[in-house]
């Protein structure tokens, strides 16, 4: 997906920097400034960009099993700091991205569409049951970027369905059970993840600076820093 916007384009390194910056601002907002909505809004662009690069990585990696292992190791390393910072299920976004990678790997090995979508649904259910950071379907989003990388309309439509339908269903269900309505502001901001698409469409297909482990190291490291600041403030 290398559709450029006007005369602007950026390489993979630049786009990844945008993603981790948005993620850091989102987490800072969630932990220290929950009343500042703009920080959470900015953060919505992060996960789709990460999901996009997982789908890109799948097509370019020479060793898919090593790629999966790398994600798994850093997901494990991030569990404790993630739990300490957010106080919820330690299954962080790296587990979602790993599930997404596994979904692509498995769907590539079946021919029937109903089998492919069955695998996507199963992966999404697993993420939901684990209580991962991306319960709203980040693992499925990885597959959508892979499946519709050359069909922008289908991608926008499928992403819209992925983010809007759960909200509609939750609102309808809350009419029966008010306690079921999510209190987290992050849940209601998920449709703003679509704002990541113009950035992704500006990707020129070039790697840029080759700092392969930057994101992997940054993710647990920034959580440790946030936890340290939390303790200093307390």
Instruction: Give residue 64's pLDDT.
Output: 96
Q: Which residues pair with 166 in a beta bridge?
A: none
- Residue 29's nearest CA partner among 19, 17, 43 is 43
Gap between the Cα atoms of 208 and 232, Å rounded: 37
Handedness of CA 168, 129, 133, 68 (dihedral sign): negative
Phi, psi of 147 (to 5 degrees): -70, -40
Q: In 3-state terms, the chain is what percent helix, strand and coil (to 5)?
A: 75, 0, 25
CB 123 within 8 A of CB 166: no
Instruction: Give residue 6's pLDDT.
Output: 46
Residues whose CB falls within 8 Å of the CB of residue 175, separated by 6 or more in sequence, listed in order: none
Q: What is the CB neighbour count within 10 angstroms for residue 81? A: 21
The SS3 assignment for 106 reads helix
Instruction: Give residue 122's pLDDT.
Output: 93
Structure tokens, 141: 């989003």
The SS3 assignment for 10 reads strand
Instruction: Give residue 176's pLDDT.
Output: 63
> How would you label 52-66 residue by residue, b for 16+ Cβ within 10 Å and e otherwise?
bbbbbbbeeeeeeee
Kindly state the DSSP code that residue 108 receives in the 8-state scheme: T
Count of residues in the chain: 234
Task: Name the pTM for this structure.
Answer: 0.88
Residues of the chain with pLDDT under 70: 1-8, 134-136, 166, 169-187
> How is the chain split into domains, by residue range?
12-233
Instruction: Give residue 134's pLDDT.
Output: 62
């Amino acid at each position: 997906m290398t559709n450029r916007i006007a005369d602007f384009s950026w390489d993979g390194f630049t786009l990844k920097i945008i993603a981790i910056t948005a993620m850091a601002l989102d987490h800072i907002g969630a932990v220290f400034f929950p009343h500042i909505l703009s920080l959470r809004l900015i953060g919505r662009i992060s996960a789709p960009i990460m999901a996009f690069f997982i789908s890109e990585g799948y097509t370019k990696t020479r060793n898919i099993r090593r790629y999966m292992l790398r994600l798994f190791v850093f997901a494990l390393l991030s569990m404790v700091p993630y739990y300490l910072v957010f106080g919820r299920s330690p299954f962080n976004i790296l587990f979602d991205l790993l599930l997404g990678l596994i979904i692509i790997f498995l769907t590539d090995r079946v021919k029937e569409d109903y089998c492919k979508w069955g695998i996507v649904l199963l992966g999404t259910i697993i993420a939901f049951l684990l209580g991962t950071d991306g319960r709203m379907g980040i693992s499925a989003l990885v597959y959508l970027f892979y499946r519709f990388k050359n069909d922008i309309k289908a991608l926008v439509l499928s992403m819209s369905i992925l983010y809007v339908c759960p909200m509609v269903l939750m609102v309808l269900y809350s009419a029966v059970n008010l306690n079921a309505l999510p209190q987290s502001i992050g849940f209601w901001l998920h449709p703003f993840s679509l704002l990541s698409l113009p950035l992704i469409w500006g990707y020129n297909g070039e790697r840029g600076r080759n700092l392969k482990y930057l994101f992997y190291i940054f993710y647990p490291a920034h959580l440790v820093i946030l936890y340290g600041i939390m303790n200093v403030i307390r």
